[in-house]
Amino acid sequence: MKCSKCGFENKDKAKFCTKCGNSLAVNNPEPVPVKSSNSKYIIIALIVVIIVLAGTIGYFAMNNNSNQVQTNDNSQDSAASQDVKSSDDSDSEDDSAKTESVSSSKSSTEVVDEKSWESIGKYSGSGSGTETIQVPAGKIMVKLSAYPIKNYATNHLQVSGSNGASGGVDWGSKSKVETRSDSFTYTSDVEETFTIDYYETVSWEVEFFRYQ
């Protein structure tokens, strides 16, 4: 720093002249920085531009997200509609299948129900004896029952046919005195002869049924 009084060159930070003692601060005041108003305006303009850019970017980002959400919702609605339609179609097919199955079942039941067991002869008696009867051809079921006088070893009711079909009940010497029953079925294309043999009975009964 040069002294304004004697012209001596002093150090930059010196406050007084080394040679003459003159105050260097008075002669060479430190420059005071002056803030420029232009810089202030530039900074404000930059801030405004940044805010505008941020708002614009945010606006477009929100619109894109909204469009994507709407697209996803539409896709989900469409998929849900297709699932519902598929489910309805499947339910309709299942209902149709069930209806056909029920109809088929009804038809089968109706066909089966067209035939039933019908009685074609009923015979009964008591005591001891033998009877012979003729049974027509077809699918035949025989039901028989008897009640003994006492529990003898020979008490019985036997029904046997010429085709080998047979059934019956009997009581041993230690059996309980009670009604006993039996039944059997057979199928024959011709008329069969059956013998009913009973011994020491209070009552007995034999009934023939044909499936028709």
Query: What CATH number is given to the structural domain containing 171?
Result: 2.60.120
Instruction: Please compute the mean of the pLDDT values over residues 114-126 and round it to a whole number.
Output: 96
The reply to whether 35 falls in a domain is no
- Asked whether residue 178 is assigned to any structural domain, the reply reads yes
Q: How many domains does the chain have?
A: 3
- What pLDDT, on a 0 to 100 scale, did the predictor assign at position 75? 59
Between 152 and 167, whose confidence is greater? 167
The closest alpha carbon to 144, from 118, 162, 170, 172, belongs to 170
CB 147 within 8 A of CB 178: yes
Look at residues 114, 135, 160 and tell me which one is the last residue of a structural domain: 114
What gap in Å lies between CA 154 and CA 87, rounded to an integer?
Answer: 72
pLDDT of residue 97 exceeding 90, the answer is no
Phi, psi torsion values for 118, nearest 5 degrees: -120, 135
Range of the domain at 4: 1-30
Q: Are residues 121 and 207 in the same domain?
A: yes
* CA–CA distance, 202 with 147 (Å, rounded to integer): 6
Q: Report which listed range, 10-14, 143-147, 149-153, is most confident.
A: 143-147
Q: Is the pLDDT of residue 127 over 70?
A: yes
**Cβ atoms of 182 and 106 closer than 8 Å:** no
Cβ-contact 132, 193 below 8 angstroms: yes
Q: Is the pLDDT of residue 94 over 90?
A: no
156 neighbors 168 (Cβ within 8 angstroms): yes
| pTM metric for this prediction | 0.48
- One domain for residues 79 and 92: yes
**How far is it, in rounded angstroms, from Cα 83 to Cα 92?**
14
Could you tell me which residues are beta bridge partners of residue 187? 139
DSSP label at residue 168: E
Q: Select the highest-mean-pLDDT range: 5-9, 101-105, 205-209.
A: 205-209
